[in-house]
Chain A
Amino acid sequence: MLFNSLDFAIFLPIVFFLYWFVMQNNLRYQNALIVLSSYIFYGWWDWRFLFLIIFSSCLDYFIGNRLKTESQQSKRKILLWFSIITNLGFLGFFKYYNFFLENFIDAFTLFGLQINTNSLNIILPVGISFYTFQTLSYTIDVYKHKLEPTEDFLAFSAFVCFFPQLVAGPIERATNLLPQFYRKRIFEYNKAIDGMRQILWGLFKKVVIADNCAEFANQIFNNSADMNGSTLFLGAVFFSFQIYGDFSGYSDIAIGVSRFFGFDLKQNFATPYFSRDIAEFWRRWHISLSSWFRDYLYIPLGGSRGGMWMKVRNTFAIFLVSGFWHGANWTFVIWGGLNALYFLPLLLSRNNRNNIGVVAEGKFLPSFGELISMLKTFTLTVFAWIFFRAENLEHAFSYIGAIFSPSLFSIPEFTGMRDALLTIGLIVLFLVFEWHGRTYKFGLNFISNFKSPVRYGLYYFLVILIMWFSDKQHEFIYFQF
């Protein structure tokens, strides 16, 4: 079920009504309703894959409780690895089976050997990468005694399948979300209003920014052989805003919907395109995934504690794995590797934690130096996104090659250039909002201090824009991951 669909517009009020008006006095009933509605939400796409979620929930619930009672370290380790291998096994099969098989065949062909194997027509279950990482974090935290395992299966199931963030995050930690299923939830007006504001902002990002940019990004990437350098660069810029609007928009809607039900999810994006260096960008982009890799991969590998070689190795490890997490294609691996290369000079010169705070905090505009740093970081990410968007490596390299041609300095040319100018105008408007809201949890948060007429005027303006552009319905990009 898409957040920007009529189905969800009917589904949400029904669940809201049942949750607050019918199940109001019983926490277990409320949790049961969350599980049931989450399964309906997920099953709307394909009910067969519900069994994977249910299996994953049962497995990690059982292992979590066994880890509590088991005192022998070796057995605890076996339990942990059993959970990791099973969860990653499902992920590996559904997401990477054909990729490994194809590369295996290619490798043999390289040595002149022909082998016959059949690839399978495997459907990738929506959101598998997200809920797998969520359940894994629970088991690892229990193993490390950072978290008490839950005995409430209903609460645990609700934690695994909580519908607002089930298919595209934010990837929640059990330490943050699970305890919220034990606590009574009281409906709070301010929280609900804030949630609605964040949903509105998320819809604006998705429907107005991402879906509009998608039209041009798709057109340019799909016909890249016929485009000049400046058009190709513009296509990459459109894709950069498409993916940001799409993914952060989804996160905003997920967080906003959760607030309706009395839950607080973690912030997933913090104006990443205003970052002054790549290290800052990665502290602000897909925060829940970056912090997951930091806590469950980078630190266990030794983090920054060892020598320089270890730091470099660990940095490459998390970026490459992060790239591979996004999809079974070398383009994602190169995208991860490229980001590691961007990150490396900062790490080696110990400048990776230079820009911790918000850019130009307390100021209306950034300084010239800050502006240059932001533009430089943005340009680097735009180039990395080309690998993320390209069909394959050949496409990505030819795309970049064509950008670096004399035609880079010509006027962009493609069908619908006039509509593209309107989209560029909308991106500028979006950036103005984001800039003003950069110290808040989401772009529209800052208008809560505005006087009512201005605030309501802005709400109406955004609602009208969303309705106007809602006919170009595109699926969320991160569903495929």
Chain B
Amino acid sequence: MNSFTFNFNEMKKLFIKLVFFLIPLCLYLSANLCYNYDRYRNESVNLGPIEDLIIGDSQLMTALNPFLFKNAVNVCQSGEPLIVSYWKLKKILNSSKPLRVYLGFSPHTISSYNEHKFSDKKWAQDIFRKIYPIQDLNSISARVEIDFTSFYKTLFKQNAFYPKTKHAKYLGCFIKKTSSDVSNWELRTNQHFFYQEKLVGKSQITLDYLDSIIDLCQQFDLSLTLLGSPLHRNYYSNIPQSFLIDYKVTKAELEQRGVCIIDKSDGSSYSDSLFYDSNHLNQMGANRFTTEVLKLLISQGKFN
């Protein structure tokens, strides 16, 4: 058995060096974190004097052209679940006062695949990157799994490295698509109505958040319209029947409660050339859909 003396001075030297190396680094990162936290907590959304606000996911992002409105803004983001739309609307209403709100509402909007967006690696990181300034993850029901490790990593990455002046990545815009290829209908329906190869049902949590959005619009005296943008006939016919029934029942219940719904999701009257892919319209399709929506709203007296 050997015995030997411990070289304390050498160890002390290392620790001092390490501490002196880490202090400036920690100070730098902490300063950025504090600055950015303060910045995004107090950042107001400046959309200007708008009348119409368009919220939803990529379907409405490509389908409703705000430039055909008098004074509208499209803030849709791809892959946005209604939970996020609610947080976003709340944030926007703190500083902007639109008259009307249009919310994307298609069969996949109420699919419970949306609940996995906060835990599945495919979506979580991207969604956290966009929503960290407006999120209220702790308030979501325990039934929704949330990958908090991934969230805090994203939060750190977005805020620790340099001071940012703008954090509003949760605000999207209208995207003009010019090409047309509808061949991905099977891939898309599998993504929207199946999770890990199992058929998913409707998401009660999403419906609860839809209720919250309706309440919020009532509270701020806003006219809310749910919009179902056209889906390619192959996509639409590939939606599982049980899900389609759920969707129609939900729609009927909402209409009974007085919610205005314009549903063009059975896009059989839209030719292939109007689609960007099986569930998104291209620019030509968007112009036609927007015009149709405007005509309907005018006929209903909701729009001048």
Contact = CB atoms under 8 A, between A and B. Distances in A.
Contact of B2 (A184, A463, A467, A471): A184
Contact of A189 (B1, B14, B154, B160): B14
Interface stretch (A21-29, A53-61, A168-176, A348-356): A21-29
B4 interface: yes
A189 B17 CA distance: 10
Given A26-B1, A193-B14, A468-B157, A459 B125 contact: no
B21 A456 contact: yes
Nearest to B10: A189
Contacts of A463: 25
Contacts of B21: 456, 459
Given A189-B14, A193-B14, A460-B25, A471 B7 contact: no
B2 to A, nearest CB: 4
Nearest to A26: B1
Contacts of B153: 470-471
B2 A24 contact: no
A464 interface: yes
A27 B1 contact: yes
B125 A193 contact: no
Interface size class of B (residues with CB under 8 A): 20 to 34
A391 interface: no
A28 B1 contact: yes
Interface string B1-18: 111101100110110010
Contact of A24 (B6, B17, B161): B6
A471 B125 contact: yes
A186 B11 contact: no
Interface in A105-152: none
Contacts of B6: 20-21, 24-25, 187
A468 B157 CA distance: 6
Interface string A9-51: 0000000000011001111100000000000000000000000
A188 B2 contact: no
A21 B2 CA distance: 16
A2 interface: no
B3 A20 contact: no
A24 B10 CA distance: 14
Contacts of B125: 471
B14 A471 contact: no
Nearest to B149: A6
A467 B32 CA distance: 14
From B7, B14, B154, residue with most partner A Cβ within 10 Å: B14
Contact of B3 (A26, A188, A467): A26
Interface size class of A (residues with CB under 8 A): 20 to 34
Nearest to A464: B161
Contacts of B150: 471
A26 B2 CA distance: 6
Contact of A193 (B17, B24, B154, B161): B17
B14 A184 contact: no
B10 A188 contact: yes
A187 B3 CA distance: 14
A24 B2 CA distance: 10
A192 interface: yes
A314 B150 CA distance: 50
A471 B154 contact: yes
Contacts of B157: 467-468, 471
A153 B43 CA distance: 64
A459 B20 CA distance: 13
A186 B11 CA distance: 10
A162 to B, nearest CB: 19
A193 to B, nearest CB: 7
Nearest to B8: A187
Interface in B133-180: 150, 153-154, 156-157, 160-161
A460 B24 CA distance: 10
From B10, B125, B161, residue with most partner A Cβ within 10 Å: B10
B11 A187 contact: yes
B102 to A, nearest CB: 30
Contacts of A186: 4, 7
A188 B4 contact: no
Interface in A191-206: 192-193
B101 to A, nearest CB: 33
A25 B125 CA distance: 48
A463 B26 CA distance: 12
Nearest to B9: A189
B158 to A, nearest CB: 10
Nearest to A460: B25
A240 to B, nearest CB: 26
Nearest to B129: A471
A460 B25 CA distance: 7
Contacts of A464: 161
A193 B3 CA distance: 25
A21 B4 CA distance: 12
A25 B4 contact: yes
Interface string A68-105: 00000000000000000000000000000000000000
Contact of A27 (B2, B154, B156): B2
Contacts of B24: 460
A27 B21 CA distance: 32
Contacts of B3: 25-26
B4 A184 contact: yes
A187 B4 contact: no
Contacts of A470: 153
B7 A192 contact: no
Contacts of A28: 1
Contacts of A459: 21
B10 A187 contact: yes
Contacts of A25: 3-4, 6
Contacts of A193: 14, 17
A102 B25 CA distance: 54
Given A192-B14, A470-B153, A471-B125, 6 more contacts: A25-B3, A26-B1, A184-B2, A187-B6, A467-B157, A471-B154
10 contacts: A21-B6, A24-B4, A188-B10, A189-B14, A193-B17, A456-B21, A464-B161, A470-B153, A471-B125, A471-B154
Interface of A: 20-21, 24-28, 184, 186-189, 192-193, 456, 459-460, 463-464, 467-468, 470-471
By Cβ-Cβ distance, the 4 closest A-B pairs, closest first, are A189-B10, A24-B6, A27-B2, A184-B4
